[in-house]
Chain A
Amino acid sequence: MQKQLTKGNVAIVKAAVLAGCRAFYGYPITPASEIAEAAALYLPRAGGVFVQAESEVAAINMLYGAAAAGVRSMTASSGPGISLMQEGFSYLAGAELPCVIADIMRGGPGLGNIAPEQSDYNQIVKGGGHGNYRTLVVAPDSVQEMADLTTWAFDLADRYRNPVVVLADGFIGQMMEPVEFAARATLPAAPGWAVRGDAETRKNMVTSLYLEPDILERHVRKLEEKYKQAERNEVRFESWRTEDAEIVLVGYGIVGRILKAAVELARARGMAVGLLRPITLFPFPTQQIRELAKHAKAFAVVELSTGQLVDDVRLALEGRAPVEFFSRVGGNAPSAEDVLAFVEHTFPGSLPQPVAVRQEELIHG
């Protein structure tokens, strides 16, 4: 199909409908509102349901109902609304209900502002709700990926029976780029476990309640195994000019794009700089980052938060290489030139050499 200039927030909805999404329950919030607006237009056209809920709390619980009934469903919000939805995230994961949630991140904490940030990372990737659960998280860096990763998110959600979050920032949500959408629409059959209100599914039950400790432990272990399986099978990342990189920049979403420009600027000055862009934030590309540490001398994490992704990079490296950090917040974004200046300032001339003995210990420790 021909490429079409499309806004990130709208691309999510079109891709979702093509992927068989037939229910959207949402609540308006800048900078995610275009998702609800597009859903209000396109879901009914596709024979689906759109409801503007009374709150994000209601919206996420409506998602629970639609998913329980076996319908591919989604919602979208931004920081403050996502905070309210955390109860539902936990219940959806606990009840093993598949659905897709888009978080178009804005500035926080509190009301913050409506400009882009990446400060929902911990809330989304580490789990802002209660209990032992994870959400699978994909992080698009372009409008094309807004479409492609949304499509994939629905498949992942069904495969793992778990909520999947499309974590984007206000830049990606608001910008327009050419998109090539899936050529064919799909509509998967309702899963066998769903409660559809018919004779065939009368014995089915959806719950997150397991009162007996042994039974709950078994359930939690089952969820844990699913997340391990996702870690084995679903990691996605983009490695850009890292083959010979001495300094590896790490960033996701819009920052990944800025870092690509920064890599070009640095390369033009003869610096061996590359980019590792996680596409899945959970599961995290831990092994891939670790692998790069075999030849890279240092890592620099850039994000639009005061340091959330950087923790995962440090955990992945376990001290194998130094990790530097650069950020802008409040709705500001660093320019490629800012990043270049940071890299030049942080790594002047010769780069710090990792201590060989310590590295040995940590690899085995």
Chain B
Amino acid sequence: MASYTVTHQKARAFYDTYERKAELQNQTHYCPGCGHGIVSKLLAQAIDELGVQDRTVLISPVGCSVFGYYYFDVGNVQVAHGRAPAVATAVKRSRPESIVIGYQGDGDLAAIGTAEIIHAANRGEPITVIFVNNGIYGMTGGQMAPTTLLGRKTATSPLGRDAMNEGFPLHVCEMLNSLEAPVYIERVALGNNKQIMHAAKVVKRAVENQVKGLGFSFVEVLSPCPTIWKMQPVEAQRFVRDEMAAVFGLCNFRDRTKEAQARPARAASPALEDLPRLLDLGNGSGEDAVAACPPQELDLRIKVAGFGGQGVLMLGEVLAEAGLDAGYEVSWLPSYGPEMRSGTSNCHVRLANHAIDSPLVSRPNVLLALNEPSLRKFLPAVEEGGLVLYNGSEIPGDCVRSDLRMVALPFTQLADELGATKVGNIVMLGALLEATGILEQGRVVGALKRLVHPRFFELDLAALARGRGEFRESASDDYLWGV
């Protein structure tokens, strides 16, 4: 018992003087009889006894305990209302050796910060949270808290808390006890000296768990607020002991400290010179450098369009990747989001031997239409003299434009003949390469190798060859377009 005797000696984890206000350097801002002073003292003693003052970071909340940093001679971070568990999460993950202690009241933790405390607990963040429950908003002058007892009159429940209107007092320990990850959950009270001495043990355990590297530890402290409750301190203590504890049962809800595994240390950080490799940077093609000078004059403005699932975006990406490899300036701009999963999909691809201004292709000189709606939608915008490849046996009569070079081939059907509908896009790519003479075969093969799953690589090569062949057979002698 000796180590828990309440003494009048100041804990070392407290500052010698509290420089909150020049004229009040020897006292806290807490009211006479307030439980916060006691909880602070128990916490400071625990920090002393565990020898972790240098390592401790206290997260001060919003509410009566907002000024924790004036009292605790530890690293201090003051945070927004309710967000202490989120901030504590990141401090702990940033500095795993630190001892991070969140200190929150009931408005802060159980109302505005409900999401943050539940998820920090659920992730099992190896931090310590001290939750001071006095059933009221103290700092703002006595408004109802989620923990206010039924029937209690407050500034915002002037007729008394009514379950039909304001719901029931929120039981945070019980709620957290439904989660898998927490290691230690206990509710204590400051209703008399015996309860306070037990609270001292529990607060120390909760910090000690963290020192041992165990998981999330949570202590709820039922605490008197005589000023706002309009009670004498002794009466307030009785209220805690008899009435609050009757609603919020005092209990160790969970102690898994024996089974809990300490979190494994994070792997050592890699050397800085390894980072480019770890970021998948460097030369994917395995060749030394992109061709210094673009081989030819080029300004391809390509629109690829079709149904989601036809490989529209991939077709565009292979073009851009191969174009970059060949030394061109390139851009690839997709339609994105849920559109990709159904309905139509399209992308804009540009290849040029000069800097690309807009990556949006509003006047394409190449349209790759994988279905009829796409042909109809984008055909009017195609520039005079442009090339249209259409996935079908013939161009619909009302879509024929005499100022364009239009070629219809059943790319999907050709892909089916190769045994995989999904390579219809690559068959079309083969036809495009054949039609335009852009991009050496090797560049395109290299791009496919980098972008497609190895399982489909051979199939894609066959599709590419099929597209070239079909185009050669279907087109007239003067098919070579535009370059």
> CB within 8 Å of B: which residues of A?
1-5, 14, 17-18, 22-23, 25, 30-31, 42, 45-47, 49, 51, 53-55, 57-59, 61-66, 68-71, 73, 87-88, 91, 95, 114-115, 170-171, 174-178, 181, 184-187, 195-199, 201-209, 254, 257-258, 260-261, 264, 333, 335-338
Measured between C-beta atoms, what is the minimum distance from A54 to chain B in Å? 4
Tell me, yes or no, whether B93 is within 8 Å of chain A by CB: yes
B360 contact from A25, A66, A258, Cβ within 8 A: A258
- Which of B84-92, B229-237, B417-425 interfaces with chain A? B84-92
- Do A65 and B321 touch (CB < 8 A)? no
B86 contact from A17, A22, A58, A261, Cβ within 8 A: A58
Q: Which residue of A lies closest to B66 (CB)?
A: A209
- Do B86 and A91 touch (CB < 8 A)? no
Residues in B neighbouring A5, C-beta threshold 8 A: 317, 320-321, 324, 330, 332
Tell me, yes or no, whether B362 is within 8 Å of chain A by CB: yes
24 CB < 8 A contacts A-B: A4-B281, A5-B317, A14-B279, A30-B338, A57-B115, A58-B83, A64-B80, A65-B59, A65-B90, A66-B90, A69-B90, A71-B94, A88-B83, A114-B337, A175-B359, A176-B317, A176-B331, A181-B281, A197-B55, A197-B57, A197-B95, A201-B75, A335-B363, A337-B363
Other contacts beyond A64-B90, A171-B360, A185-B276: 8, CB < 8 A = A1-B276, A5-B320, A30-B338, A49-B90, A58-B86, A91-B79, A175-B332, A202-B53
**Interface members, chain B 371-405 (any A CB < 8 Å):** none
Q: Which of B279, B290, B334 has the most CB of A within 10 A?
A: B279
Complex CA–CA separation, A205 to B338 (angstroms): 45
- Do A171 and B359 touch (CB < 8 A)? yes
- Given A5-B330, A87-B80, verify A65-B98 contact (CB < 8 Å): no
Tell me, yes or no, whether B270 is within 8 Å of chain A by CB: yes
Tell me, yes or no, whether B292 is within 8 Å of chain A by CB: no
- Do B279 and A42 touch (CB < 8 A)? yes
Measured between C-beta atoms, what is the minimum distance from B134 to chain A in Å? 21
Q: Which residue of A lies closest to B74 (CB)?
A: A202
Tell me, yes or no, whether B131 is within 8 Å of chain A by CB: no
- Given A18-B279, A206-B77, A261-B357, verify A335-B362 contact (CB < 8 Å): yes
Residues in A neighbouring B269, C-beta threshold 8 A: 22, 46-47
Residues in B neighbouring A114, C-beta threshold 8 A: 336-338
- Do B320 and A206 touch (CB < 8 A)? no
Q: Which residue of A lies closest to B97 (CB)?
A: A197
Tell me, yes or no, whether B278 is within 8 Å of chain A by CB: yes
Interface string of B76-116 (1 = CB under 8 A from A): 11111001001111110111011110000000000000011
Complex CA–CA separation, A257 to B329 (angstroms): 14
Residues in A neighbouring B53, C-beta threshold 8 A: 202
Residues in A neighbouring B90, C-beta threshold 8 A: 23, 25, 49, 51, 61-66, 69, 73
Complex CA–CA separation, A175 to B320 (angstroms): 11
Q: Which residue of B lies closest to A106 (CB)?
A: B337
Q: Which residue of B lies closest to A50 (CB)?
A: B93
Residues in B neighbouring A205, C-beta threshold 8 A: 69, 75-78
- Do B94 and A185 touch (CB < 8 A)? no
Interface string of B238-268 (1 = CB under 8 A from A): 0000000000000000000000000000111
Residues in B neighbouring A23, C-beta threshold 8 A: 90, 93-94
- Do A47 and B266 touch (CB < 8 A)? yes
- Given A114-B338, A174-B333, A195-B75, verify A333-B278 contact (CB < 8 Å): no
- Do B330 and A171 touch (CB < 8 A)? no
Tell me, yes or no, whether B7 is within 8 Å of chain A by CB: no
- Do B115 and A54 touch (CB < 8 A)? yes
B358 contact from A1, A55, A198, A336, Cβ within 8 A: A336
Complex CA–CA separation, A18 to B94 (angstroms): 18
Residues in A neighbouring B74, C-beta threshold 8 A: 202
Measured between C-beta atoms, what is the minimum distance from B166 to chain A in Å? 24
Tell me, yes or no, whether B272 is within 8 Å of chain A by CB: yes
